[in-house]
Amino acid sequence: MNPDVRKPVNFSRRSIPVLTLSAVLAVGISTRANADEADAKRLLKGMSDYLAAQQAFSFSYDATLEVVTPEDQILGLASSGKVVVNRPDKIRATRAGGFADVVMSFDGKTLTILGKNLNAYAQVEIPGSIAHLVDVMRDKYDRPLPAADLLLTNSYDILMEGVEDIKDLGSGVIGGVECDSLAFRSKDVDWQIWIAHGDKPYPCRYVITSKRVPKGPSYAIQFGDWKTGKAVTAGSFAFKNTSKATMVKLEELKGTGDLPEHFTKGASK
C-alpha cells in the first residue's frame, strides 16, 4: 500500500490545516454572545498566563493526525509521547508511533533529532529560545513540535490571531478531569480546547480542524500527567550518543516525520 494523501496540517493553529470529525451534528447553541465570549477569553488567557508562569513543566500526550486521500478517505495516524520544557531555551520531546520512534532534544544551542528505530541522528545549530526553535522548525524544516502554540509564553495572542467566533460550551470531562470546553473559529480552521478547572488551568485536550481541506481533517492532542516546578524530572537536554547512533544530515533522517515514508504528499484540492 502506497497511499497518496493531501498535504496535512501542521501541529500549529497558525500553520493551518488537518483533521475531521466522523460525523457532523446540527446543534443549536443559545447565544449569550457577549458574556460567553468574554468568559471564554478570560479562561483561555488564564491558561496562557498559567503556562507562561511555569519555568519548568512536563506532560505526556496522545495525538491523532488525520490525512485525506484523493479518494476522500480519512486516515488517522496515532502517536504518543512526552514533552519536558525548561524555559527559556531547553526542551525534550518524544514521539512514538507505528512507523517512528523519535527523540528531539534542544539545549539552547543545538537541536538533535534521534530516530531510535533507525539508530541514526541529525543535529542542527539553532541558538535561541524555545519560541525561536518553534518558528524555525515549523517554517524552515516543516517539523512542527507537538502542541507548539501552547509552549509559547504568548500563547493567548497566537491562539487568538484571526478568531472570528467564540463559544463557551460549559463543562466537559477529559481523562477524569473536569474542564471548561471552549470553541473558536477563524477563516482557515476551527479549534477547540478543554482547560482544567481549578488553580492549575492546564490544557487537557486541543483539537484543530481544517476548513481549507475537503472533509475537514483534524489534529487532536490529549494531555496527561502534567507536572510543574520541582516535580519535573528534567534530566539532561544535551544529546548523549549512548546507542552509538550514526550521524546523518537532517534531510537524510528518513522515517522520523509526521507521515510514514510510504505515504506521498500531494497538493490540497
In the chain, which ranges are E strands? Answer: 4-6, 56-68, 74-86, 90-97, 101-106, 110-115, 120-125, 165-174, 177-185, 189-196, 203-210, 218-228, 246-247, 264-266
Q: Answer whether 182's CB lies under 8 Å from 168's CB.
A: yes
Amino acid at 243: S
Triad 198, 199, 202: Cα angle to 5°: 80
Asked if residue 265 belongs to a domain, the reply is no
* Whole-number pLDDT of residue 153: 94
* Whole-number pLDDT of residue 42: 96
> What is the rounded distance in angstroms from the CA atom of residue 142 to the CA atom of residue 15?
10
Asked if residue 125 belongs to a domain, the reply is yes
Please list the ranges in the chain whose pLDDT falls under 70: 1-35, 234, 262, 264-269
What does the radius of gyration of the chain's CA atoms come to, in whole angstroms? 19
Please name the residue that has the C-alpha cell 515514508. 261
How many residues does the structure list for the chain? 269
Query: What are the CA-CA distances from residue 208 to residues 116, 263, 266 (Å)?
Result: 29, 22, 20
174-199 confidence digits (pLDDT tens): 999 999 999 999 999 999 999 999 99
110-149 confidence digits (pLDDT tens): 999 999 989 999 999 999 999 999 999 989 988 888 889 8
* Whole-number pLDDT of residue 19: 30
CATH at residue 63:
2.50.20.10
* Whole-number pLDDT of residue 259: 72
Which grid coordinates are listed for 39?
468568559
* Whole-number pLDDT of residue 30: 47
* Whole-number pLDDT of residue 26: 34
Q: 45: domain range? A: 35-254
Asked if residue 115 belongs to a domain, the reply is yes
Q: Answer whether 57's CB lies under 8 Å from 226's CB.
A: yes
Asked if residue 7 belongs to a domain, the reply is no
* Whole-number pLDDT of residue 105: 95
Count the domains in the chain: 1
Asked if residue 237 belongs to a domain, the reply is yes
Give the number of other CB atoms < 10 A from CB of residue 57. Answer: 21
Asked if residue 16 belongs to a domain, the reply is no
Asked if residue 12 belongs to a domain, the reply is no
DSSP class of residue 175 equals T
* Whole-number pLDDT of residue 33: 52
Asked if residue 18 belongs to a domain, the reply is no
Which grid coordinates are listed for 262?
510510504
Phi, psi of 51 (to 5 degrees): -65, -40
Considering the chain, what is the average pLDDT of its residues?
85
Which grid coordinates are listed for 26?
446540527
* Whole-number pLDDT of residue 265: 66
> What is the rounded distance in angstroms from the CA atom of residue 6 to the CA atom of residue 72?
10
